[in-house]
Structure 1
């Protein structure tokens, strides 16, 4: 009897160790609100929208300790619309993120699959006081071609006294590259950053091949330098992007003619600059503001300015309410629209108010 009890105790302890070394977490965000858009060709648009501040999603992530500082990891993440309950991209399952990899405490992390680009992580996590969400999202004016890539190998270095770097490589993996050229659909990117105390600064680069089976139009090249500094009473943000080559300045709305004119072609030579701030208000409130300017150097001078302000109030650690407003001034038939984290918008002005819950 005593031997049986000892055996059961040993098995229970071993099971507990195994569970501690491996974990799977279900997480997500449910975000919805009211959106009012003005200035577009369809007039005033009022609607219930999903993913305004942060895209609504459900995901699974897990890690397994392999010993000697090495671990396995995975992420599977799917987006959906709270307003209609549908997948945000029809016919897909884990359209937002889907990757697996190995991580070493001393050598860094390698992941394979569908992932965010280093350029987009710099924009959303370092450059934008709206974190790429709300009406003031920097995605309204910054290039829209560098968010995620499929078939990607991403290496992220360990942190060395505040410094870190990452490098990404991806291909279209559609069969054409093996028959014609390995450059078809190829994207490459990298970033390096420094974060220590109140300062967070990062420099990112992304290049996308324009080659097809019948032509080669070079590549789209995007540079982005961004920084924010926390002064305690406010956090200041600044960013500057350089965009060169065909498709280097694609618009969030896909260059749809959203206004009562034919939108100017997207530039193959432009810069995008941002200044902004977040200001804590009381124990749970935050004011957000930014100004963004697009300078089209292609000769069309299809410039644009965006002015945005927003407010978020944390009801708890997981739930917040928010309101935001943004206005874009398009020049020389530039066709930028005010959207949010998940949708491109229909006009040059938008107001939204909503609630976000994370779990």
Structure 2
């Protein structure tokens, strides 16, 4: 039954065996910044870090025209710690993304290591794109639920009347019980002119039981032209996470070659102790030297009784200064 459903989706997408044009693109980002941290248990930090404003990476993406409006697609993307030359994402060769699939008028079907639908929902709401010391993923459900899913089959629908959807299934691959370690993700989005709305959901089962962590995130974005505002609300329940609620408010102001960004996040711990109640305030500015090169500066503060670090420094306050180049 499952095999027939999968075959039907592939057929609907329009995968046709045909000789056609193909292309492969090499791309990447190199980002390095000086990070100064304050308020840590061992004192101040002074470090050079890679991927402060955007994760450094080297990637390959390709597309082959299959005819009938259908294409074969793939992405292989490595995360780099260019301050040391090591691989990011725990040393995985293609730890950022690694998938292959087909794309057509009926949507896309991809298989491999991919971003979770709830994380792409978080990226829509965070003006920093989950970067700098004030990255939203330190507190928000979109990262706590998991940035990426391994062993994943994902379907992305076409846009119909402004709506689009994502469905993802991550195989747990535990012998004897397919439900263990299984991950499910979904998102529904709507865009109409300056307004964008999106809700993402993620469920991840425990490796040894049927318990599951459940995360939901609602996001809204409105582009006034001179100012872009964002709002998000998240709920986190189940294993591996503190039952909590998150709220984010963000703003982006482009002017000339500059982009000013700010965000405020509040986490409400739903346990009796409220030990993980937290709030975070962050400000960043980028200045484009060219279409590919930018300078940046960012400050952030994280005040709470449970979390003890900002993204790159072991403290409650962080200053980032650096340069980013894309190719």
Counterparts of 1:197 and 1:57 in 2: how far apart (Å)? Answer: 32
| Alignment match of 2:260 (pick from 283, 287, 298) | 287
Which residue of 2 is the match for residue 8 of structure 1?
Answer: none
Q: CA deviation at 1:336?
A: 4.4
Counterparts of 1:314 and 1:90 in 2: how far apart (Å)? Answer: 31
In structure 2, the CA distance between the partners of 1:79 and 1:230, relative to structure 1 (3 Å rule), is same
In structure 2, the CA distance between the partners of 1:121 and 1:89, relative to structure 1 (3 Å rule), is closer
Question: Which residues in structure 2 correspond to 1:1-359 (within 5 Å)?
Answer: 21-89=21-89, 91-105=91-105, 107-124=106-123, 126-143=124-141, 144-173=144-173, 177-179=174-176, 181-212=177-208, 216=209, 218-247=211-240, 249=241, 267=242, 269-281=243-255, 283-302=256-275, 303-330=277-304, 333-339=305-311, 343=312, 345-359=313-327
Give the SS at the match of 1:190: strand
The superposition leaves residues 174-215 of structure 1 with CA deviations (integer Å, 9 ceiling, x where unpaired) of: xxx222x11221110100001121111101100010141xxx
Counterparts of 2:228 and 2:90 in 1: how far apart (Å)? Answer: 39
Q: CA deviation at 1:145?
A: 3.3
Give the SS at the match of 1:167: strand
In structure 2, the CA distance between the partners of 1:318 and 1:243, relative to structure 1 (3 Å rule), is same
Give the SS at the match of 2:122: helix
Answer yes or no: is the 8 Å Cα contact 2:145–2:215 preserved in 1: no
Answer yes or no: is the 8 Å Cα contact 2:145–2:202 preserved in 1: no
Counterparts of 1:78 and 1:233 in 2: how far apart (Å)? Answer: 35
- Computed over aligned residues only, the root mean square deviation of the Cα atoms, in angstroms, reads 1.4
In structure 2, the CA distance between the partners of 1:96 and 1:39, relative to structure 1 (3 Å rule), is same
- Computing the radius of gyration from Cα coordinates, the structure with the larger value is 1
> What TM-score do you get using the length of structure 2 for normalisation?
0.91
Answer yes or no: is the 8 Å Cα contact 1:217–1:246 preserved in 2: no
Q: CA deviation at 1:233?
A: 2.0
> What TM-score do you get using the length of structure 1 for normalisation?
0.83
Unaligned runs of 5+ in 1: 1-17, 250-266
Answer yes or no: is the 8 Å Cα contact 2:35–2:48 preserved in 1: yes
Q: Which has the higher strand share?
A: 2
Unaligned runs of 5+ in 2: 1-18
Counterparts of 2:309 and 2:140 in 1: how far apart (Å)? Answer: 12
Q: CA deviation at 1:217?
A: 5.9
- Runs of 4+ in structure 1 deviating by more than 6 angstroms, as ranges, are none
Give the SS at the match of 1:122: helix
